[in-house]
């Protein structure tokens, strides 16, 4: 009898699977019976957010930010003292920056302050608590929080203030002293290397923005607007998603959904999208290339030499600022796959005016293009590539480099607060070659190549090569600097006079650029 029942069940299942219209009908009926997560407006969707809550905010700069949800929060003067977890705070007058202006944020948990002057002013003035984290650590902490993983170990930040603690979280309002500082990290040794313990992050609410979504909360992101949206969506106790396009249930292709609806609790069709671009950067014409300031000519001189580091087939990350310009000078016949840590592989040149897309920006928030064969993905996936040693080389800017290859490039205490961004993660990848491009001396003439760094470290003994406007140094492990090349017209004696540490001179040193 039991065997007969089993055979009947198998036969019944077989009939359903071989008759697509029945299977489709059942699926459609189930979807229609599902409780809709759709809300009428952004104001309605944010109901329940209260003072003191932790808000996880998707986006990167202004790319992919939940514009309408943030405006709705800004309209609620009763929401105060929130902790905002976001890569950065947009600009002073838009995005998350508007909540800073309205003084609704008590603490920012971010990787980058960048050019947001109000963010920096409130932080340095003791008006705002800021917990700065490496960008990859932030992405992974959120991903782990969403996955129910309480913590993880990472190489990022070993030997820096991230490990030792003491990074100012809140300054005194008179600018004298630090009221709250970061705590030291617990460490553990794996395979003879020290790692730091980082804890997962969750939030009371996650506010994210998607290109397309349905009433069940299934989300699809467009291009680089995936960034922090995907991991944030998984880590909120209540996740609210605003979408540009609300599509019928079943229209999204099953294998192209980035965030399944199980993570999303509320969906709202965004009312108005400005789709601002933080740094609209267009491709320069040949004529424009000829009209450059002296400082830009100096930068181009350094970058043209840096571009000779590219080898065919390399996967390379270019830091913001000067390094990203190196992509303009890749030699003909060489293919280099450029990775941007906000979620692009196969990055192309700056766009023409006709090619500009607000959903395509690089790690410096500049408008870019993507070459055929390129891909876009979330920030946690991007830093998995970096930590997983998939990159061949990283080119970064620097404020100081020591004779041992220690790098400083994220802060001048009490004066310049850039934030780590992705630099600490990039220099911690053991197999990725690290090249630093910078002027040999600061604007006041002080050397930037030091015996010991005086600025907080980005990484310890992590630099392989230094390229300046005057020369090229290699960092030889256990020995120090080796002068490899001179810029045209420079002499060894001149380099010794403007470098604050000893170095050896290669037997074949020559003027090469």
Torsion angle of C-alpha atoms 234, 220, 253, 25, degrees rounded to 10 = 60
Reference 110, options 325, 99, 102; nearest CA is 99
Q: Which residues of the chain have pLDDT under 70?
A: 1-34, 286-291
The pLDDT value recorded for residue 236 is 98
d(CA 253, CA 400): 49
The region, left, alpha or beta by phi > 0 then psi within -120 to 50, assigned to residue 313 is left
Out of 198, 341, 366, 485, pick the active-site residue.
Answer: 341
**pTM of the shown model:** 0.91
In tens, the pLDDT along 306-345 reads: 999 999 999 999 999 899 989 889 999 999 999 999 999 9
pLDDT recorded at residue 174? 77
341 included as an active-site residue: yes
**CA 54, CA 82: separation in Å to the nearest integer?**
6
Dihedral of the CA atoms 505, 408, 319, 509 (nearest 10)?
0
User: What's the confidence (pLDDT) of residue 318?
Assistant: 95
Cβ neighbours around 471 below 10 Å, total: 28
Distance (Å, whole) CA 361 – CA 347: 9
| Beta strand extents in 332-470 (DSSP E only) | 337-340, 344-347, 370-376, 393-397, 400-402, 407-408, 411-412, 416-417, 433-437, 449-450, 465-467
CA 388 to CA 425: how far, in whole Å?
A: 11
Whose tokens are 């197999």? That residue is 431
| C-alpha to C-alpha distance for 62 and 358, rounded to whole angstroms | 9
Residue 350 zone, left/alpha/beta (φ > 0; ψ -120 to 50; rest): beta
Distance, in Å, from the CA atom of 328 to the CA atom of 312, rounded to the nearest integer, reads 15
């Amino acid at each position: 009898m039991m065997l007969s029942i089993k055979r009947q069940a198998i036969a019944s299942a077989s009939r359903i699977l071989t008759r697509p219209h029945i299977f489709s009908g059942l699926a459609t009926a189930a979807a229609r019976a599902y409780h809709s997560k759709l809300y009428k407006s952004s104001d309605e969707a944010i109901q329940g957010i209260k003072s003191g809550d932790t808000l996880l905010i998707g986006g990167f700069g202004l790319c992919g930010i939940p514009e309408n949800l943030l405006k709705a929060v800004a309209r609620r003067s009763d929401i105060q003292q929130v902790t905002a977890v976001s890569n950065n705070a947009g600009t002073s007058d838009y995005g998350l920056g508007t909540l800073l202006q309205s003084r609704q944020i008590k603490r920012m948990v971010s990787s980058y302050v960048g050019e947001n002057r109000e963010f920096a002013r409130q932080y340095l003035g003791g008006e705002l608590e800021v917990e700065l984290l490496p960008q990859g650590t932030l992405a992974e902490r959120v991903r782990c929080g969403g996955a129910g993983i309480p913590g993880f170990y990472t190489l990022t930040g070993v030997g820096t203030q991230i490990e030792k603690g003491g990074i100012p979280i809140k300054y005194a309002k008179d600018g004298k002293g630090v009221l709250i500082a970061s705590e030291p990290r617990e460490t553990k040794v794996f395979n003879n290397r020290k790692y730091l313990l980082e804890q997962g992050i969750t939030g009371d609410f996650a506010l994210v923005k998607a290109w397309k979504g349905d009433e069940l909360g299934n989300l699809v992101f467009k291009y680089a607007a995936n960034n922090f949206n995907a991991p944030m969506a998984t880590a909120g106790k209540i996740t609210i998603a605003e979408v540009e396009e609300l599509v019928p249930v079943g229209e999204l292709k099953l294998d192209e959904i980035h965030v399944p609806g199980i993570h999303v609790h509320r969906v709202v069709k965004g009312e108005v999208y400005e789709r601002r671009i933080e740094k609209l950067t267009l491709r320069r014409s040949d004529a424009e290339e000829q009209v450059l300031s002296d400082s830009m000519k100096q930068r181009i001189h350094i970058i043209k030499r840096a571009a000779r580091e590219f080898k065919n087939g390399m996967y390379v990350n270019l830091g913001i600022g000067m390094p990203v310009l190196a992509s303009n000078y890749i030699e003909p016949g060489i293919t280099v796959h450029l990775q941007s840590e906000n979620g692009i592989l196969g990055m192309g040149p700056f766009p023409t005016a006709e090619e500009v897309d607000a959903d395509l920006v690089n790690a410096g928030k500049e408008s870019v293009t993507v070459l055929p064969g390129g891909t876009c993905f979330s920030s946690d996936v991007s830093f998995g590539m970096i930590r997983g040693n998939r990159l061949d080389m990283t080119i970064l800017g620097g404020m100081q480099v020591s004779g041992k290859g220690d790098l400083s490039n994220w802060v001048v205490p009490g004066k310049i607060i850039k934030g780590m961004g992705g630099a600490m993660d990039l220099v911690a990848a053991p197999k990725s070659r690290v090249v630093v491009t910078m002027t040999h001396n600061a604007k006041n003439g002080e050397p930037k190549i030091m015996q010991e760094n005086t600025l907080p470290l980005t990484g310890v003994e992590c630099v392989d090569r230094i390229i300046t406007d005057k020369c090229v140094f290699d960092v030889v492990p256990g020995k120090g600097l080796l002068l490899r090349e001179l810029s045209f017209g420079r002499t060894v004696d001149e380099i010794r006079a403007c470098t604050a540490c000893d170095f050896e001179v290669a037997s074949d040193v020559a003027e090469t650029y």
